[in-house]
Structure 1
Amino acid sequence: MPDQPPSRAASLAHLHAPGLAKGDPLTTPLVLSSMFHLPGDPAGARQYGRYDNPTWEAVEALFAHLEDAEAVIFPSGMAAISAVFLSLLKSGDRILLPADGYYTPRVLMERFLGNLGIAYDTRPTAGFLDGGFEGYRLVLVETPSNPGLDVCSIAAVAQAAHAAGALVVADNTTMTPFGQRPLDHGADIVLAADTKAPNGHSDVLFGHVASRDSNIVAAIREWRKLSGAIPGPFEAWLVQRGLQTLELRFERMCNSAEIIAARLAGHPAVRALRYPGLASDPSHTLAGEQMLRFGTLIGLTLESEAAAEAFIASCPLIEAATSFGGVHSSAERRARWGDAVAPGFVRLSIGCEPTEDLWRAIEGAL
């Protein structure tokens, strides 16, 4: 058989090796400097910490490798979303957001971007294609949606939106590049809150944007430089360390989620269940076509708010916390944030605990 090139996961930890000189450190250097030595003509040299940083560049190289596209990093997922909106939109533009996706982009539009003359509409993820995309400058898809886990076809959205002259942005926070590759399905931009699984240790806020369009990347990078929406070097260093084990952790988490979701589906305390990996899930066929894995999030609905809160509080291997993607499993009742879900709906994030230990804890709490 012909030699096969190393996979993205295999080569990720060795990206920097070709540039190493004898005696250089194998780990990514942490450069904590706001200033750089800059005598004479400043052109072509590092100038100031708001413009660039060697640690940033190392992390962007990792994301670029994973996304197969140029990447720009930010201090949070919402900073990444804001950068896309504010660098690419102007007064008079209209955008389309998922009605059932992460709620903060809708709040951002309502509270601030509307004052700049940018309008928005919403649609549920499962019906995101309904109504077409005429008149939109940009459409943002989040699939699977957070927290309801509905799925839409990125390829179909991209084809229809491009025909209408709109840019397609995919929020891939729930899936990571190892679970889904929106750019390969036609999205113009992919972004994510790397606070979640890419960092994986619940100790840093982070985000990134990636695109294969050099003009888009240039605009976003310039906006970051001028706005000052920059990540700290130490936060960037923590994320690069997390990325080294992302494939390993994501594999464990997805494997456990698939096993636990199937068992939850038959549990008498569970009134409803959403997980794209279940053959009974309404999104299963489409998810199997565009997702590499079925993810680490499970949506389960218990009898009541009280039942949901008691389940979360009593499970010794579940942390009661917002956010997801850490090495520890976590859960929260999403109706408390105003999401359009049942009072007993729980978003369960499966972590890296041994699968059978975690299941016994969940079963006991139920």
Structure 2
Amino acid sequence: MHEGTGSTSVTGGVRGHGFSTLAIHAGQEPDPLTGAVVPPIYATSTYKQDGVGGLRGGYEYSRSGNPTRTALEASLAAIEGGSHGFAFASGLAAEDAILRGLLAPGDHVVIPDDAYGGTFRLFDKVAAKWGLRYTAAPLTDLASAMNADTKMVWVETPTNPLLNIADIEQIADLAHRSGVTVVVDNTFASPYLQQPLALGADIVVHSTTKYVGGHSDVVGGAVIVNDDELAEKIGFHQNAMGAVGGPFDAFLTLRGIKTLGVRMDRHCDNAERVAEYLAGHPKIAEVRYPGLATHPGHDLAGKQMKRYGGMVSFRHKDGEQAALDVCGRTEVFILGESLGGVESLIEHPGRMTHASVVGSALEVPADLVRLSVGIEDADDLLADLRQALG
């Protein structure tokens, strides 16, 4: 199962249980030798073989498979409702494996016109040189962006950083009529709030650095699929390209997964209060949060998500410098890139996470501020924003 492919299927006796039960138990059965309830960190690069080709448990070399990573991959597949999980060294490594594992020079991909800056950079500065073509388009108008060479539609929902909502089921139905593969970046929602495979997506990708890991202490990525053929191709490229995380990375990510459900509920609780406060503030021109009834994707988000997430973006009425000033004045919200950790973060996308899209069709408003709302006491977060906004 592990040699040469890296593929990990969901196993064990926990199918059919609720999300948090799966998050705690799937792929993490007590160690048969010691009874340890947490999967050990297998800090090894190679494995003794019982004769040529005689692999114990299918392991030969830790790029191809490592027991700690196997546990993580089984857990990831289970919480996303998939059959095969693959863990990578970063979210962008996971995205790269999808592009080069499934596409060829000359193929065309439709991406969101407000995609994450790192995803755009991967398409525009790396994959384009390899011969891949792409069109950035509103995913509400997918049909006009597809052509005879389109092989894949890349979806973010909610998007980063504008928090737009895409209709996964509708996009999948339209794309599949033309034999086009649908990839959903589920990083912002997390598997707890949204299940793209159940809505018709073919592939789910994550930066597990974010909500899945949840503690800002490990970098990682993931790909989850149900289709065996897709799994074989992704697994081959995972092994052939070698962008896998180490066993300690897998251990930390597994630890984060165990509390994903309870953390996401607190993220959502706090984000709802932050969004409501900002929506009534005289210095805020617009609040982007799917949980607000004024958000254009509010009803759709309510249909395909369990709750509305922990990310909030807003635009300052007084322009870019005022937005930068707010970022520099917060005390509880930490000025920093990334998101999804237990601590609250604030950033200016135009100068930070989305600097790579400046001058392109994906450029974000200069007065935009993005918040990753953590799990601190909500009253402290509101007080911090109150003083930062003056």
TM over 0.5: yes
* Match of residue 68 from structure 2: 55
Alpha-carbon distance in 2 for matches of 1:330, 1:128:
33
TM-score relative to the length of structure 1: 0.94
Identity %: 35
Residue number in structure 1 paired with 2:379: 356
Residue by residue over 1:91-122, the C-alpha shift from the partner in whole angstroms, topping out at 9 and shown as x without a partner, is: 22111111211122222222232233221111
Tell me the residue number matched to 1:328: 343
- Report the CA distance shift for 1:111/1:131 in structure 2 as closer, same or farther (over 3 A): closer
- Bigger shift: residues 213-222 or 304-313: 304-313
> Partner amino acid for 1:73?
A
Say whether the 8 Å CA contact 1:133–1:160 is kept in structure 2.
Answer: no
Q: In the superposition, relative to structure 1, how do residues 290 and 60 fare at CA in structure 2: closer, same or farther (>3 Å)?
A: same
User: Which residue is 2:275 aligned to?
Assistant: 261
1:120-161 deviation digits (Å, cap 9, x = unpaired): 111024444555565311110111110111111011100000
1:164 aligns with 2:178: yes
Cα distance change, pair 108–341 in 1 and its aligned pair in 2 (3 A): closer
Q: Please give the alpha-carbon distance, in whole angstroms, between the structure 1 residues aligned to 2:125 and 2:326.
A: 35
Instruction: Kindly report the root-mean-square deviation, in angstroms, between the aligned alpha carbons of the 2 structures.
Output: 1.7
Between stretches 43-52 and 292-301, larger displacement belongs to 43-52
Q: Look up the equivalent residue of 1:10 and give its one-letter code.
A: T
Aligned residues: 362
Secondary structure of residue in 2 paired with 1:13: helix
CA contact (8 A) 2:344 2:371 kept: yes
The aligned runs of 1:1-366 (5 Å cut-off) are: 6-15=17-26, 20-21=31-32, 23-45=34-56, 46-69=59-82, 70-132=84-146, 134-302=148-316, 303-336=318-351, 337=355, 338=358, 340-366=363-389
Moved more, 90-99 or 194-203: 90-99
Question: What is the alpha-carbon distance in structure 2 between the residues aligned to residue 31 and residue 68 of structure 1?
Answer: 26
Aligned in 2, Cα 1:299/1:18: closer, same or farther, shift over 3 Å? closer
Whether the aligned pair in 2 keeps the contact of 1:100 and 1:145 (CA below 8 Å) is: yes
Instruction: Give the whole-Å Cα distance in 1 for the aligned partners of 2:27 and 2:299.
Output: 39
SS at match of 2:124: helix
Asked if the contact 2:30–2:36 (Cα under 8 Å) also holds between the matched residues in 1, the reply is: no
How far the C-alpha of 1:359 sits from its partner, in A, is 1.1
Residues 81 and 195 of structure 2 are in contact (CA less than 8 Å); yes or no, is this contact kept in structure 1? no
Unaligned runs of 5+ in 1: none
Q: Give the Cα separation in 1 of the matches to 2:74 and 2:369.
A: 36
Distance 1:263 1:319 in 2: 19
The separation in 1 between residues aligned to 2:70 and 2:187, in whole angstroms, is 21
How far is the alpha carbon of 1:187 from its aligned partner? 0.4
Q: Is the 8 A contact 2:30 2:39 kept in 1?
A: no
Q: Secondary structure at the match of 2:276?
A: helix
Report Cα offsets for 1:231-278 as digits up to 9, x if no partner.
111111110111111111111001111121012101111111111110
TM-score (norm 2): 0.89
Compare 281-290 and 305-314 and name the one that shifted more. 305-314
Is the contact between residue 81 and residue 191 of structure 1 (CA under 8 Å) also seen in structure 2?
Answer: yes
Gap runs ≥5 in structure 2:
1-15
User: What's the offset of the Cα at 1:12?
Assistant: 2.5
Q: Give the 3 Å change call, closer, same or farther, for CA 8–189 of structure 1 in structure 2.
A: same
Q: Could you list the runs of 4 or more consecutive aligned residues of structure 1 that deviate by over 6 angstroms after TM superposition?
A: none
